[in-house]
Amino acid sequence: MRSRIVVGTLFGAIGGFIGFALQERLVTHDAILAPPLSEMLRLGALVGTMLGLAIGSVEGAVVGSANRLLRGAVLGAVIGAIGGMFGMYVGGIVYNAALFGKDAVILDQSSNLLDFTHSVLARALGWTFLGAFPGLAAGASTLSQRKTLHGLAGGLIGGFLGGFAFNLVANLFAQPIQGMAAAASNGPQIIEIGGPSRAVGFTAIGAFTGLFIGLVEEMLKQAWVRVLVGRNEGRDFIITKPLTIIGRDERADVPVFADPALAPQHAAIRIEQNRHVLYDGGAQPGTVVNGQRVQQTVLRDGDMIQLGQVRLLFREKATASRAPAPARDAAQGPQTAGRLQMPSHLCQFCGAPKDAQGACLCTVGPTTGAAPPTPAAQAPVAGAPTMDAGAAAGSGPALVCVEGPFAGRVFPLSSLPQTIGREPGRTIALADDRSVSRRHARIEGEFGTPMLVDEGSANGTYVNGVRITSQPLAPGDVIQIGQSRFAYRE
């Protein structure tokens, strides 16, 4: 969100200054007479167009979507031009009304502090509307009713502060400096002193409008998703529309481009009775929430959403206190929400197929019938260590791969530390998975409890659906590294 605030402030300031430069060349300003209404409307249209275009482009620039940037710029410019004219007209009425019949020139030139304050506040109230409508344009360019209101609120604040700056610059800087210049020329001169004030005022309107749109949006947001892995990593997408589309399409509300296997409209979040419901679009590789594939589910704060190689963290203020996310890097026991649901014919501990009596590789004691079959998935895999007899019999701690390129393999943890990664020197070498880092993670022995530690991997290490940096392991924990999932057993 910080990038959106910074980009909004910068774009707004640039738009305001360009609007100032255009109107200085195309609008006639007189040192004594107020400009006619037609000139004021032209001024409002020019400034409003540039402010709307600049601030309307912010969302597309932040998320890196050329389609959204173009749409925002065009809609922002059109609505900004109309809003700028309307804002200038209404602002003029408000400004004159706020003077309470007093002459503006006399108030500006008065040395009385009350008169000066009166003039500044009247100008600020009038300019409030010049900022309001470009702000409205920025919100409307996203086609979101809530963001439109956020833009209006931010624009009102920005316009007020920009108008406030106008009189301060004119009275404290421009007028004294140009007055001294006139005196030095040894002759009476009538100088139009509004140029510097307009430069500062219009630039301030743009900067403050962009700033406060971001701040208001940040304070009033109710739900958002954060990209943890993939393009736009670390960025937040605020959920403001009744239906938020997630997919590989640039026009999607949450564009995700890291995985080409994802559909253009892969999933959606719909607001239903003040809750957020995630719907799967039906395309492969499906939608997974906290390690479980879903068709639809009500989201809670802290839920981990996985779309292929893309991972999103769902945040929601409404459920943040009632249903907090599992604490990262803290000891966690087995969690039903995070466990991988094994098919009934496979053992949930070792991942091997069961025989007719329900026996598998980790069954202890005599069993009736034939010995449990050796699963075909346990054929030697290049780059994976070979099981020893104790691991095959189910004795001692081990990682059992239950999904991915090494499904069915058992990696014994009879001695610690164990290193995990793609390079050949790792004790658990996952060379066939390109989504695994060369030095991905390690398992250490700490106070008798195995500790899984991520070594700064690109795609992260997950325990029960939560990304971790270090995590004590408990029996039944599901560990995800790259495309593989492992069940930890003791």
Most confident of 39-53, 228-242, 446-460: 39-53
pTM assigned to the model: 0.53
Give every CB contact of residue 199 below 8 A, 6+ residues apart in sequence: 17, 20
pLDDT attached to residue 141: 64
* Among the ranges given (47-61, 217-231, 281-295, 305-319), the one the predictor scored with the smallest mean pLDDT: 217-231
**Residue 128: its H or E element:** helix 113-140
Residue range 471-487: average pLDDT? 86
Residue 356 pLDDT grade (very low, low, confident, very high; cuts 50, 70, 90)? low
pLDDT > 90 fraction of the chain, expressed in percent and rounded = 7
Query: How many Å apart are CA 4 and CA 226, to the nearest integer?
Result: 14
Tell me how far apart the alpha carbons of residues 63 and 195 are, in angstroms, rounded to a whole number: 36
pLDDT at 324 exceeding the cut of 50: no
**How many whole angstroms separate alpha carbon 432 and alpha carbon 95?**
71
Greater model confidence, 398 or 233? 398
Alpha carbon 142 to its chain's center: 15
In whole angstroms, give the CA distance from residue 479 to residue 340.
Answer: 10
Length of the chain equals 490
3-class SS of residue 276: strand
Cβ atoms 140, 79 nearer than 8 A? yes
Q: Which of 232, 261, 262 is nearest to 247 (CA)?
A: 262
Report the pLDDT value the prediction gives residue 115, as an integer from 0 to 100.
80
Task: Please tell me the predicted confidence (pLDDT) of residue 390.
Answer: 39
For residue 176, the model assigns a pLDDT of: 61
pLDDT in tens, 394-441: 567 888 888 888 877 888 888 888 999 988 888 888 887 888 888 999
Name the CA radius of gyration of the chain, rounded: 32
Residues in Cβ contact with 284 at an 8 Å cutoff, skipping those fewer than 6 apart: 261
DSSP 148-195: HHHHHHHHHHHHHHHHHHHHHHIIIIIHHHHHHHHHHTTS------HH
Highest mean pLDDT among 22-31, 212-221, 226-235, 257-266: 257-266
Question: Per-residue pLDDT for 199 more than 90?
Answer: no
For residues 192 and 175, what is the distance between their CA atoms, to the nearest angstrom? 9
CB 412 within 8 A of CB 362: no
pLDDT at residue 385, as a whole number? 40
Q: SS3 of 135, please?
A: helix
Buried b (16+ CB within 10 A) or exposed e, 184-207: eeeeeeeeebbebbbbbbbbbbbb
Within a 10 A sphere around the Cβ of 264, how many other Cβ atoms? 14
pLDDT of residue 196: 74
The pLDDT tens digits for 366-391 are 434 334 333 333 333 344 444 443 34
Read off the pLDDT band of 270 (50, 70, 90).
very high
- Report the range of poorest mean pLDDT among 122-131, 134-143, 279-288: 134-143
**Positive or negative torsion for Cα 286, 288, 293, 297:** negative
